[in-house]
Amino acid sequence: MKRVLIENLPLDTPCEIASAFKGARVYDSSCSPEARVYFIDTGEGFYLKTAKKGTLSREAEMSEYFYKKGFSQGVASYVSLERDWLLTRKVAGEDCTHSAYLSNPCRLADLMGEMLRQLHSIDASDCPVQDRVREYIGLAEANYSTGNYDRSAFPDSFGYKNAEEAYKVFNEGKHLLKSDTLIHGDYCLPNIMLKDWSFSGFIDTGNGGIGDRHIDLFWGCWTLWFNLKTNKYRDRFLDAYGRDKVDDDILRIIASAEVFG
Residue 69: CB atoms within 10 A of its CB come to: 15
Q: What is the pLDDT of residues 139-196, one digit of tens each?
A: 999 999 999 888 777 766 677 888 999 999 999 999 999 999 999 999 999 999 999 9
CB-CB contact of 257 with 137 (8 Å) = yes
Kindly report, as residue ranges, where domains of CATH 3.90.1200.10 are found in the chain.
Answer: 94-258
Q: What is the pLDDT of residues 118-136, one digit of tens each?
A: 999 999 999 999 999 999 9
- Report which of 245, 256, 187 is spatially closest to residue 221, judged by C-alpha positions: 187
Query: Among this protein's residues, is 186 annotated catalytic?
Result: yes
Identify the CATH class of 4-89. alpha beta
CATH of region 94-258: 3.90.1200.10
Out of 12, 84, 123, 186, pick the active-site residue: 186
Residue 89 to residue 96: CA distance in whole angstroms? 18
Kindly report, as residue ranges, where domains of CATH 3.30.200.20 are found in the chain.
Answer: 4-89
- For 181, 205, 225, 230, the CA distances from 214, given in Å and listed in that order, are 10, 16, 16, 20
Phi first, then psi: give them for residue 152, nearest 5 degrees: -65, -25
Which pTM value belongs to this model? 0.93
Residue 64 to residue 206: CA distance in whole angstroms? 10
Residue 152: CB atoms within 10 A of its CB come to: 7
Tell me, what's the pLDDT at 157?
61
Q: What is the pLDDT of residues 75-123, one digit of tens each?
A: 999 999 999 999 999 999 999 999 999 999 999 999 999 999 999 999 9
